[in-house]
Structure 1
Amino acid sequence: MARQCEMCGKKKQMGNIRRLLRGHYNVTGRRSFDPNLQRTKVGIKHVLACVNCIRTLHKNSKTKA
C-alpha cells in the first residue's frame, strides 16, 4: 500500500535541510516531507486521503445540505 492520497495523488516529497554555519547557509542533507494521510470513509468505502481532501469534502457536503 503506497503512502499516497487516493483522491489527489499527493505523496512524499524530498527537500534539503539548510543549516547556518559561520554566517552561511549550507545544504547539509536531504529530508522527506510526508503528506498528512488519514483513513476516512467516503461513501461506503474507506480510503487513505490527505487532510486537505478531507476538508474539501467536508466543506462541499456542508454547502449541499
Structure 2
Amino acid sequence: MSRVCELSGKSGLVGNRVSHAKNRTKVRLLPNLQEKKFYAPGLGKFVKFRLSTSALRTVNKIGIEAYCAKEGIRLG
C-alpha cells in the first residue's frame, strides 16, 4: 500500500538531514496518514479512507460529501 492520501493526494518527499558539521544525509519525509471511517448520508453507509491529518481536519470541518465534491471525488 502506497503512502499517499486517498483524498488530497499528499505524498512523501525527499530532503536532507543536516548535522552540525553540515554533513547531509538523504531522508524521506512521509505524510502523517491515518485510517478513518466516515458516515456518508448520501450513500447511507460508512466509507473508509487512508488520509493525511490535514485532510482529516478539513473533512471534520466541512464534511466528507462537501470535501469530495470540492475535490471532484466520487463516493462509493
Aligned partner of 1:34 in structure 2 is 30
Runs of 5+ in structure 1 lacking a partner? none
Mapped pair 1:60 → 2:70:
no
Matched residue count:
57
TM, length-normalised to structure 1: 0.76
Aligned partner of 2:50 in structure 1 is 48
Runs of 5+ in structure 2 lacking a partner? 41-45, 64-76
Q: Which has the larger radius of gyration?
A: 1
Tell me the C-alpha RMSD between the 2 structures.
Answer: 1.3
Question: What secondary structure sits across from 1:10 in the alignment?
Answer: coil
- Distance apart, 1:28 and its partner CA: 2.0
Q: How does 1:9-28 map to 2 (within 5 A)?
A: 9-21=9-21, 26-28=22-24
TM, length-normalised to structure 2: 0.67
Separation in structure 1 between the aligned mates of residue 23 and residue 16 of structure 2, nearest angstrom: 6
4+ aligned runs moved over 3 Å, structure 1: none
Paired letter, 2:4: Q
Separation in structure 2 between the aligned mates of residue 6 and residue 27 of structure 1, nearest angstrom: 35
- Distance apart, 1:27 and its partner CA: 4.0
- Distance apart, 1:30 and its partner CA: 0.5
